[in-house]
Amino acid sequence: MNKTKFEHGSTGRLRIHVLPTQRFKTFAISLYVGSPLSEDTVTSTALTPFVLRRGTESYPETTQFRERLEQLYGAGFGFDVYKRGDYQIVQFRMDTINDSFVQSEESLLASSFAFLGEVVTQPALEDGHFRNAYVQAEKENVRKKMESIVNDKIRYAAERCLEEMCREEPYRLHPLGQIKDLEAITSESLYKSYKKWLAESSIDLYVVGDTTFEEVQKLVEQHFHLDASAPTSYESHRPTREVRDIATIVEKMDVSQGKLNMGLRTTITYGDDAYASALVYNGILGGYPHSKLFLNVREKESLAYYASSRYDGHKGIGTIQSGIEVQNYEKAVTIIRNQLEEMRTGQISELEMSQTKAMIRNLLLEMDDSAFEMISFDFNRQLSGKDRPVEQLVQEVENITVDDVHAAAATFELDTIYFLQGQKEE
């Protein structure tokens, strides 16, 4: 495993993280801009990167914007909007070929910084605000993306389960925002919220490639025109598990197959020493093809078209997803709850332990082959305040015992059952 560490520092508003390496033929650049999930800002924040990618001060037309990327030997540029815990994260990415592999008159790393810095801090404007045509077009684009979630019933059921489970918490919000908020957003109001977002968010810049921390720091100072205040840090919230009756929600839509989702709460988060135990717990429960949910609900009983589980270590939430025939609802709920009970009583085989550890180990070690995966993993440190290198997490997983998983299982409590069924079904 590559033991090279990220070098960390800051300049002005930005925290900077650089991994100097000659292993890759490209520079991988990621800029994370994170802000607390809030009903007041979630939609405008989600819309912002869609508008920013339309044009900058130097390349105000979208065609010019794309041509500039082509001039940088086809540099890749993209963004994602997602949530981690109770934060909404906008991630910009650039993938640029290393200067040593092309004959370029300009430094491609410097040019990429100039481009990304301008995208984020010097957008194309008209009359002192965003271009109205861009804002209107991207509002429609975001609306279609949000509507597409309803059409994808697997995603829809997963979102609705979390929405019901966290109805009093910011986590209920979808990172793309709410359709009902789009109509009121104008180019003036969006520009105003963009300026506030940029001034108050936590900003982390990552670079992996054949460079140095000092070079990246100079490029940031040259090309990122932000105020000089100190970086804003993420606050990690320790989840509290309320003892309450399990909420059951049944929703009817035009679906041919029922979607059964369950939400569980745990006190274990990424920053906890027991995090590795929770990872193994989720893997045995439903994370992989050898897991209890897959084998017992899908294979043995033939009750589900799919059955799996996920664990969000930044929020302290586990989720179970399955697709079933509507008439099998009661039976499926019983068998899934039986699997949860097996985990709680420590009915875990050595084979389940060894297979799960092997799967987690392979996934962690594969990160070493991708610059962006390495960046994504290190960003967990910023979000949680916990410094846990990959090799340390691999070792922690290796050391987990059945008793450790049993202890982790005791913290996972079923909170919500959500069932999406056909309108004609009873």
Task: Map out the domains of the chain with their CATH numbers.
Answer: 7-223 (3.30.830.10), 247-422 (3.30.830.10)
* Residues present in the chain in total: 426
> Could you tell me the CA-to-CA distances from 119 to 69, 95, 136 in Å, in that order?
12, 15, 19
- Residue 311's DSSP bridge partners are 318
- pLDDT(414) > 90: yes
> Could you tell me the CA-to-CA distances from 90 to 13, 33, 87, 171, 204 in Å, in that order?
16, 5, 10, 16, 11
Span 301-319, pLDDT tens digits:
777 788 999 999 999 999 9
In the DSSP assignment, the letter for residue 3 is: -
- pLDDT(63) > 80: yes
For the record, the structure tokens of 346 come out as 């420590």
Categorize the per-residue pLDDT at 100 as very low, low, confident or very high, splitting at 50, 70 and 90.
Answer: confident
> Distance from first CA to last CA of the chain, Å, rounded?
54
- pLDDT(384) > 90: yes
Other CB atoms closer than 10 Å to residue 37's CB: what's the count? 22
Which one has a higher pLDDT value, 412 or 231? 412
Output the pTM of the full model.
0.94
Pairing assessment for the beta strands 413-422 and 247-253 based on DSSP bridges: parallel
Is residue 140 classed exposed, middle or buried when 0-12, 13-18 and 19+ CB atoms within 10 A define those classes?
exposed
Span 319-371, pLDDT tens digits:
999 999 989 999 999 999 999 999 999 999 999 999 999 999 999 999 999 99
Span 245-299, pLDDT tens digits:
899 999 999 888 899 999 999 999 999 999 999 999 999 999 999 999 999 887 7
Categorize the per-residue pLDDT at 99 as very low, low, confident or very high, splitting at 50, 70 and 90.
Answer: confident
